[in-house]
Amino acid sequence: MIGTWVNMGTVLAGGLVGWALGARVPSRVRDGATVGVGLATVVLGLRLALGTGDVLVLMLSVILGGAVGAALRLGERLERGTRRVEGLFRGRPLAEGFLAASLLFCVGPMALLGAIQDGLYGDWSLLAAKSVLDGISALTLAAALGPGVLLSLVVILVYQGGVTWGAILLSSRLAGFSADAPMAVELSAAGGAVVLALGISLLRLRDLKAADLLPALALAPLFVWLLSLV
């Protein structure tokens, strides 16, 4: 799990520096940075979503995932949870920074494949490269969106660390897993749709409640598996 610890370290360092800088930057500059983060998020989401190998799987996972998330009120639960922590940060909004950072750091092939490689072979080189990118992103996000970015450390630990331990336990079955595996491709594409929704929300074009779409990340690999049985 060395790769996950390194990743968390760079995010922590970048987030702390960005948070410290953001407090000294005029609000108009932070607003401009937020627009930049939103545009970059939209581009990333589009790139990931367009990588789908089966549009039907992408559509079904996003539509049904959105329905499930709305029924479970995931977005509302997330906001209520972060409000309880906001008092520790002098009332600063946390939900937006937390969601943006968590999705950007954990959605995508580098997080999944890097964690699997770390678990299977002890090779955390992919996570090391991701760590550098995440550290820079954390600095930018924290400067624009505040300390909520630091809460994404919990998600990184649970998600990447969980995948790494899962890879250790299932090493015999995951030995041939790669970025070209259909499940990995569709998981990444569904994640791209969620990230795209987040980018649109950051740009204040429309509040799409990206958290409500999170079940799509579980449904996409499930649909790929079901279709393989047909």
Distance CA 196, CA 103 (A): 10
Element (H, E) at 68: helix 55-72
pLDDT for res 61: 94
Q: Where are the domains of the chain?
A: 2-19+28-229
pLDDT for res 112: 79
Taking each helix axis from N to C end, the angle separating 55-72 and 182-202, rounded to the nearest 10 degrees, works out to: 60
Element (H, E) at 56: helix 55-72
Give the closest residue to 118 by CA, choosing from 126, 129, 106: 126
Per residue of the chain (230 residues), give pLDDT as tens: 889 999 999 999 999 998 888 777 677 777 777 788 788 888 888 988 998 989 999 999 999 999 999 999 888 887 777 666 666 655 566 777 888 888 888 876 678 778 887 887 788 887 988 898 889 889 888 888 888 899 899 999 998 999 888 878 776 665 556 667 788 888 888 888 988 888 898 888 888 888 888 899 889 989 998 988 87
Distance CA 129, CA 185 (A): 20
pLDDT for res 45: 85
Q: What is the CA radius of gyration of the chain?
A: 17
Encoded tokens for 47:
């790139």
**Cα separation values, 73 from 36, 65, 80, 157, Å:** 29, 12, 11, 24
Asked if residues 3 and 114 have their Cβ atoms less than 8 Å apart, the reply is yes
Give the closest residue to 7 by CA, choosing from 89, 144, 112, 100: 112
